[in-house]
Amino acid sequence: MRVCSLLPSATEIVADLGEIDALVGVSEECRWPPEVVGKPVVSAARIDFGELSSLEIDRAVRESVRDGASLYAVDAELLDELRPDVIVTQDLCAVCAVSGGELAGACPASARIVSLDPKTIGEIAESVRTLAAVLDRREAGEAIVARMWRTIDDASEAVRGLPRRRVFFAEWVDPPFSAGHWLPEMIERAGGVDVLGTAGEPSRTTTWEAVAAARPELVVVAPCGFGVEEAAAAAATLDVDCAVVAVDADSYYSRPAPRVADGVAQLAHLFHPAHAPDPGLEAIVPLAREQARHDVVEQP
């Protein structure tokens, strides 16, 4: 089986299933596990976001979507040379990866397109099962799903019956985006309540005034696609009257892959550190807000 994954979460799942050698092509954003770095890149963003601010990135994305232009370029010639049996992509978000429709003119005639479009944690688990079936690794898929739910259930059990923390989860900072899809569910299972997000629905823009009016106890800064250091830099600019913490969105929150279970465990610890164990994932609290974190987040 020869697989091209244009979706970072799918690349992770294929690797988790023990089929990393089946990956003959990936997207530019596929960086986990490290062994996939260096594989042929068949899709990449048309815009260089590296030197742009959060606001400039948002404007560039909105302009591209408004004009009907794809944010991604597919190397059709390379894709043809790689001769994939399966190409994995998505139709959930125009910003996140190449969609199935955009592959119409580039897909080799013999390749099967598999689109993964999960909106909830349960559907993330079904994505694992879908790829496991395609790769004839059903048993491995069930083991991954069981491990996911065990991690989530352990975190939920640790905080059961405790007061729920009021949380704003920032999927973007300028402008702020409330959490969507599986993220509000992650917050709920971790013992929190998302003050503006809607489970199973897309993330949406809001304002920091609306965030303040919702009275969160904690703002979790996790811009889509950002690592923890980038998130911390964004968090440092915020002027909100509550505790703030930056987390690694790219690894544990933005991508609908099994590691969202670890994200639930981290949130449970951030919300209720006296009750939920620290899973060891990096989180950064801006220095000016360290006292607020102790006062609001770490109370028993």
Residue 162: pLDDT over 50: yes
The answer to whether the beta carbons of residues 60 and 83 sit under 8 Å apart is no
pLDDT digits (tens, 9 = 90+) for 193-222: 999 999 999 999 999 999 999 999 999 999
Report the distance separating Cα 1 and Cα 21, nearest Å: 9
- Clarify whether residues 165 and 109 are in a common domain: no
Across the chain, which distance is largest between two alpha carbons, in Å? 60
Range of the domain at 230: 161-296
**Total domain count for the chain?**
2
Q: Is 46 left (phi over 0), alpha (psi -120 to 50) or beta?
A: alpha
Residue 94: pLDDT over 60: no
- Clarify whether residues 269 and 178 are in a common domain: yes
- Clarify whether residues 32 and 100 are in a common domain: yes
Give the position of tokens 């909830």: 120
User: Residue 183 — φ and ψ, nearest 5°?
Assistant: -65, -45
- Clarify whether residues 167 and 113 are in a common domain: no
Mean pLDDT of the chain: 86
Q: Distances in Å between the alpha carbon of 69 and those of 46, 106, 156, 184? A: 10, 16, 42, 30
Residue 10: pLDDT over 70: yes
User: 13 lies in a domain?
Assistant: yes
User: 17 lies in a domain?
Assistant: yes
- Clarify whether residues 107 and 186 are in a common domain: no
- Clarify whether residues 197 and 265 are in a common domain: yes
pLDDT digits (tens, 9 = 90+) for 168-182: 999 999 899 999 999
Residue 57: pLDDT over 70: no
User: Residue 275 — φ and ψ, nearest 5°?
Assistant: -120, -35
Provide the whole-model pTM.
0.86
pLDDT band at 107 (very low <50, low <70, confident <90, very high): low
Looking at 117, 148, 174, the residue that finishes a domain is 117
| Type of residue found at 98 | V
pLDDT band at 297 (very low <50, low <70, confident <90, very high): very low
Residues 6+ apart with CB under 8 A from 247: 220, 221, 222, 228, 231, 253, 263, 266, 270, 281, 282, 283
pLDDT band at 76 (very low <50, low <70, confident <90, very high): confident
